[in-house]
Amino acid sequence: MHDSSFIVRIGHFKCGTTFFNQAFFPQHPQINFLGKPFPQGDAMWTVLEQIAGLRDFDAAFCRGEVAARLETGTPERRLAALSDGRFAEPRHPDFDHLPERLKQVTGPNTLILFTVRHPVDLVASLYTQSVGTGKTRDSFQKWLDDNWADNQDILGMISYGRVAETFARTFGAERLLINSLETLRAEPAAFARDLAHRCGLDEARTVALFDQKPRNRRMSRLQTRLSASPALYGLARRLWHALPDGLRPLAGRLSGHGQAFVPEIPASVRHRILDSSRPEIERLCAVANLPAARLGFDLDAPPAG
C-alpha cells in the first residue's frame, strides 16, 4: 500500500511520543512533519484543537493552514505527518466525530498509526511522572482512585477498542496500523519495514531511525524524593559527580540516585486495571484482525519494567 499521503499518529503520551515527535518524523528525509511541538502562536495548534473538538471546527481554515505548511516542505518530503495523543482520548468532547473532522483536513489517504502500551505499565508510568514532577505525593492506590474517571481519566486512556472502532468507521480498518510500545522495543526493525512498505518510504532509512531509538531514562528514586525542588535535585547531581568513584556505590544505595523508581502496585489494583482493559484490547484486536500476541504483551503476566 503506497497510496498514503498522510500519517497521523494518535497514540497516547508515554507510548513512544518523544521518539516519534523528535527522533523519527522530523528526521526522516521523506516526511514533512507538521508538529508538534509547535512554535508559540503557530496556527497548527489551533487546527489540532479544532479537530479534537476543543474549539469550533472550521474545515476551510484547517485545510488552508495544513496546505500552507505543506508548501514549506521539499519534493523529497512527500509524506506529511501529524502526532497528537488527544486524538486517542474518548474523554474529549464530540470524540465520535473526531475522525471525520480529521478526514476533512488530511484526506482519505491517511494512515492512522495507533500506539498502545500494556495498561498496567502505562498507568504506572503516568503515576511515576506525577510523582517525579511533584504533582502528587499520594500512594499509587489513592492516585489511581482520584484519576480513574476524573482529571487524567485512566479509563479513557485505556479505551483502546473504542478508539480503534471509531477511526475504523471513518477511514476503514485497513488504514489502521496498530502497534504497541512493547513491539517497538522488541522488534523495531520489523515494525519499521512494515511502516516503510505501507507508506512507500525508503526501507533502509526508516529501519536505521528505528534501530537507534533511544529509551527515556527512568525516573530515579532520588529524583522522586526531591521532585518538589529541581534546585535540590540539581545540587544532588553535582555532589554525586564530585564524589570519589569509590564512594558512589554507597551513596547511590543510600540516596536512591541511579536506582529507578518503581511504584508498588498492589495485586488487587493490578487486577482492577487488567479487568477493565481486557475487553478493550479484545475489541482493538478484533477491529484490526490482529492476534493479541502481536501486541507483544500478555495480560496474564506482569508488564515489562
Can you tell me the distance from the alpha carbon of 33 to that of 27, in angstroms, rounded to the nearest whole number?
9
Mean of pLDDT over the chain: 83
Query: What percent of the chain is predicted at pLDDT more than 70?
Result: 82
> Higher confidence at residue 275 or residue 257?
275
Question: What's the rounded mean pLDDT across residues 197-220?
Answer: 80
Query: What percent of the chain is predicted at pLDDT more than 90?
Result: 31
Q: Give me the half-sphere count of Cα atoms (radius 13 Å) on the Cβ side of residue 59.
A: 10
Please count the residues of the chain. Answer: 305
- In contact, 295 and 116? CB cutoff 8 Å: yes
Q: What is the pTM of this model?
A: 0.83
**pLDDT digits over 58-91, tens only?**
999 999 999 988 887 666 777 899 988 889 888 7
> Higher confidence at residue 231 or residue 102?
102
Can you tell me the distance from the alpha carbon of 175 to that of 101, in angstroms, rounded to the nearest whole number?
16
Question: Order of strands, edge to edge, in the sheet holding 31-33?
Answer: 31-33, 79-83, 6-9, 110-116, 176-180
Can you tell me the distance from the alpha carbon of 103 to that of 80, in angstroms, rounded to the nearest whole number?
14
Q: Residue 199 pLDDT more than 90?
A: no
Helix (H, G, I), strand (E, B) or coil at 254: helix
Q: How confident is the model at residue 12 (pLDDT cuts 50, 70, 90)?
A: confident
Instruction: Specify the DSSP class assigned to residue 138.
Output: S
**pLDDT digits over 98-154, tens only?**
999 999 999 998 999 999 999 998 888 888 888 777 788 888 888 888 888 776 788
